[in-house]
């Protein structure tokens, strides 16, 4: 099994190194026979090659079984025409990694940002290849237009094909959980675009009679996430809503640093932490690698499911369990969640727990 590792910017190389250490321990324990190859992306690639993402790296990624992508500082990149390409956006569109899967859950041994007595255990299925993102909704050019210095326009693309497939992935996931899907939309205002998305979700729901479907306006959803998060199991949303709601849910559950994430297609999956590159703590051994470790575990789970490989699924479960064991101990937490150990020590602790 061949995985391509792209460490990225800021704290990316540090948290990726910790996640890879845990992954290699899982490889030894479960006999996965993983081959890791590395490529440069982000600022290091920009300095060496004039672009944050070389075409040959993107094409090379297609030949791998899975990808591990570190954080990127794309808000600080130069304009695309000057080489500052958004790496994850390019992967999502050109490798068709259309399902951004983002779990969020509270843990009884860690503080959350919910009201006392409230808990959360949900997954947001975010469509990642279209929507209100100007770099992925036009066949040519940009989806933002500026006819005059005083007028700016933005185009949103919603298609039946993309809406149906993200809905189907959401219902499939719900069948393995509590069998409830909530469609997030604003069809009362965006009659055609959100109306089409909602129509597609309802159509796919007919294929899953054992899964309950409801829907919520996106603004009402934010209120329910704060007030009544227990009502949610799997949420399915178009790109823009899913991006915002997943950050809200993860922060409410405790921290963005505790939330795993993958970008998945039908043939390829990429592990990518939910949070940003945090350049202010780069190379200081302060970053929490939990999100990256759990993202790699999700990648193993995806690979095991798509290849019907029990060892891969077992390795994923072991990585999850080891991370939780370490998080449950106040002495082995990073500073952002009340502990005193660094990135490297946290990764070593998870590795030790996995091999124990």
Mean pLDDT confidence for 127-147: 85
Catalytic residue among 64, 77, 133, 241: 133
Helix (H) or strand (E) holding 88: helix 87-94
Q: Does domain 1-102+256-356 have CATH number 3.10.180.10?
A: no
Phi-psi region at 61: left, alpha or beta (left = phi > 0; alpha = psi -120 to 50): alpha
Confidence tier at 256 by pLDDT (50, 70, 90): confident
Catalytic residue among 98, 157, 186, 233: 186
How far, in whole angstroms, is CA 244 from its chain's centroid? Answer: 12
Per DSSP, the residues of 292-320 read HHHHHHHHHHHHHHHTT-HHHHHHHHHHH
Instruction: Identify whether 60 is a catalytic site residue.
Output: no
Catalytic entry in 65, 135, 247, 336: 247
Domain boundaries, given as residue ranges, for the chain = 1-102+256-356, 112-253
For 65-106, how does the pLDDT look when each residue is reduced to its tens digit (9 = 90+)? 999 999 999 889 999 899 999 999 999 999 999 999 999 999
Say which residue the tokens 């640093």 belong to: 257
| Residue 313: predicted pLDDT | 97
Residue matched to tokens 């956006």: 89
Residues 302-351 have pLDDT tens digits of 999 998 899 999 999 999 999 999 999 999 999 999 999 999 999 999 99
**Mean pLDDT (the chain, rounded):** 95
Catalytic, 27? Answer no
**Is residue 64 flagged as an active site residue?**
no
Annotation says 121 is catalytic: no
List the catalytic residue out of 96, 194, 233, 243. 243
Q: Is 96 a catalytic residue?
A: no
Q: Which residue is listed with tokens 């069809």?
A: 187
**Span 29-46, average pLDDT:** 97
Asked whether the beta carbons of 166 and 98 are under 8 A apart, the reply is yes
Assess whether the region 1-102+256-356 and the region 112-253 belong to the same CATH fold.
yes
Backbone angles phi, psi at 125, to 5 degrees: -100, 105
Q: What's residue 209's pLDDT?
A: 97
pTM of the predicted model over 0.85: yes
**Would you state the structure tokens that stand for residue 49, as one six-digit string?**
């090659």
Fold of 112-253: Isopropylmalate Dehydrogenase (3.40.718)
């Amino acid at each position: 099994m061949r995985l391509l590792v792209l460490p990225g910017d800021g704290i990316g190389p540090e948290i990726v190194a910790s996640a890879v250490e845990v992954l290699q321990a899982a490889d030894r324990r479960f006999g996965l026979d993983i081959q890791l190859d590395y490529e440069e992306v982000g600022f290091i690639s920009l300095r060496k090659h004039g672009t944050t993402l070389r075409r040959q790296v993107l094409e090379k990624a297609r030949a791998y079984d899975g990808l591990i992508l570190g954080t990127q500082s794309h808000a600080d990149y130069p304009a695309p025409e000057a080489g500052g390409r958004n790496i994850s956006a390019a992967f999502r569109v050109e490798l068709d990694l259309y399902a951004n899967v983002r779990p969020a859950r509270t843990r009884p041994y860690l503080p959350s940002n919910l009201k006392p007595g409230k808990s959360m255990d949900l997954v947001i299925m975010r469509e990642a290849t279209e929507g209100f993102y100007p770099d992925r909704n036009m066949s040519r050019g940009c989806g933002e237009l500026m006819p005059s210095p005083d007028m700016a326009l933005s185009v949103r693309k919603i298609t039946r094909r993309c809406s149906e497939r993200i809905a189907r992935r959401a219902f499939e996931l719900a069948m393995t959980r509590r069998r409830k899907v909530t469609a997030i939309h604003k069809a009362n205002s965006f009659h055609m675009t959100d109306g089409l998305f909602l129509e597609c979700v309802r159509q796919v729901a007919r294929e899953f009679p054992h899964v309950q479907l409801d829907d919520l306006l996106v603004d009402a959803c934010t209120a329910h996430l704060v007030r009544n998060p227990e009502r949610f199991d799997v949420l399915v949303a178009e790109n823009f809503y899913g991006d915002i709601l997943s950050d809200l849910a993860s922060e409410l559950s405790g921290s963005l640093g505790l939330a795993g994430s993958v970008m998945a297609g039908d043939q390829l999956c990429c592990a990518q932490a939910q949070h940003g590159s945090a350049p202010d703590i780069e190379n200081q051994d302060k970053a929490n690698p939990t999100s990256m470790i759990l993202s790699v575990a999700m990648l193993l789970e995806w690979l095991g499911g798509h290849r019907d490989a029990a060892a891969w699924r077992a390795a994923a479960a072991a990585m999850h369990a080891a991370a939780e064991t370490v998080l449950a101990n106040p002495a082995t937490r990073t500073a952002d969640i009340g502990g005193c150990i660094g990135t490297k020590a946290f990764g070593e602790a998870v590795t030790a727990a996995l091999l124990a």
